[in-house]
Amino acid sequence: MSTIPDQASVRAVLADFPDPESGRSLAEMGQLGAIDASPSGVRVSIGLTTHSAVLWKQVRGRIEERLRTRFPGVPAVEVTITPHDRPPGKLGQIGLEAKSVIAVGSGKGGVGKSTIAASIAIGLARAGSTVGLLDADVYGPSVPHLLGLSGRPQIDNGKIVPMRLAVGTGSMPVMSMGFLVPPGEAVVWRGPMLHGAISQMLRDTLWGPLDYLIIDMPPGTGDIALTLSQVLPLTGAVVVCTPQDVALLDATKAIAMFRKVNIPLLGMVENMSFFVCPDTNKRYDIFGTGGAKRTAKELDIPFLGEVPLQIPIREHGDAGQTAANYDDPAARPYLEAICERLVGHLAATAAASPPLPSLPVL
């Protein structure tokens, strides 16, 4: 086979390269764009959806590597990624327009679940995805405080207008029971009222079209996971825990709960994984070490990463500036890695079993 590139040979090399969102080939999905190929260089334009925005750099690198391997004598290889528009369909009974709905849960409180949920949402939005964040922890909503949002949402034609957090050059819609009840007032509800509240926040909030809806779950194994499994198809769940045995035991129960209601497990995150003393640079494993990674391996669940116990992360959360963790060079790599592994797992799952194309109903 000739190693001198032309349009046909370049197209053949990339014919089976998968679109990260759909898992189907870029060529099949109409996302393989202009190709300029000659002995002096190969230039290719690829269209990718914002659902995979956090992976764009990785995808570009993989395509460039494939082309350089196939055409080793070509001095220049350039891959340009442009946005490819693919609107989301409507999900479940409630008609939510979202491509992926991800629940973030834990077996117990106090493990930093809400911080991780908010950080995942912010990280995906910073990368360029369209993201919404729903605080479904009805009894102890903490997302408003973590993000520095307050006030009561407005109503527009019977729909709730969510609060919005400025992220990058855009903004992210956020909804929480914390916006609907006075500060300090306890919510004392039974199962049917919880079901109604969560369904209403999903159905009646003006989310707009989303790549991702991240749902901060209440801790434990209560009614809300069952409600979510009934009203819309969840893409899956992320379980957050700390390294010590008591937290891992409760996290295992949360995993069992998600499996019982047929919600796929997308991965585990180990929070407060270790502490590095700023004065001595010495590492302390305050809650143990590696417990979540071992548990994830034992239960055949992807391990998405660890987040160290850092004073700035706590300070930013207390100050309502959780988004500022991405401006901290000590915290940002851990949070970005979790987002990349999460979306990478979704992409690998789609590539392994690409969904059939949707057909219009005539």
Instruction: For residue range 167-202, list pLDDT tens digits in order.
Output: 988 899 999 988 887 666 666 666 667 777 788 888
DSSP secondary-structure letter at 277?
A: -
Contact assessment for residue 308 and residue 272, using Cβ atoms and an 8 Å cutoff: yes
Tell me the average pLDDT across 6-26: 93
Report the 10 Å Cβ neighbour count for 196. 12
* Model pLDDT, residue 357: 57
pTM of the model: 0.92
Report the 10 Å Cβ neighbour count for 97. 16
pLDDT in tens, 230-257: 788 899 999 999 888 777 888 888 888 8
- Whole-number mean pLDDT of the chain? 89
* Model pLDDT, residue 187: 63
Burial class, 258, CB count within 10 angstroms (exposed 0-12 / middle 13-18 / buried 19+): buried
Tell me the average pLDDT across 19-23: 95
For the chain, the distance separating the N- and C-terminal CA atoms, rounded to the nearest angstrom, is 46
Burial class, 116, CB count within 10 angstroms (exposed 0-12 / middle 13-18 / buried 19+): buried
Tell me the average pLDDT across 102-119: 90
Please indicate whether residue 137 or residue 343 has the higher confidence score (pLDDT): 343
* Model pLDDT, residue 360: 46
Q: Where are the domains of the chain?
A: 7-83, 90-348
Q: How confident is the model at residue 163 (pLDDT cuts 50, 70, 90)?
A: very high
Q: Which residues contact 327 (CB under 8 A, 6 or more apart)?
A: none
Check whether domain 7-83 has CATH 3.90.226.10, yes or no: no
Q: Which CATH superfamily is domain 90-348 in?
A: P-loop containing nucleotide triphosphate hydrolases (3.40.50.300)
Tell me the average pLDDT across 296-304: 92
Annotate 304-341 with b (16+ C-beta within 10 A) or e (fewer). bbbbbbbeebeebbeeeebbbbbeeeebeebbbebbbb
Secondary structure of 125-185 in HEC code, one letter for each residue: HHHCCCEEEEECCCCCCCHHHHHCCCCCCCEECCEECCEEEEECCEEEEEEEHHHCCCCCC
In angstroms, how far apart are the furthest CA atoms of the chain?
73
Say if 7-83 and 90-348 have the same CATH topology. no
Residue 262 CA to residue 342 CA, distance in Å, equals: 19
Tell me the average pLDDT across 92-120: 90
* Model pLDDT, residue 192: 67
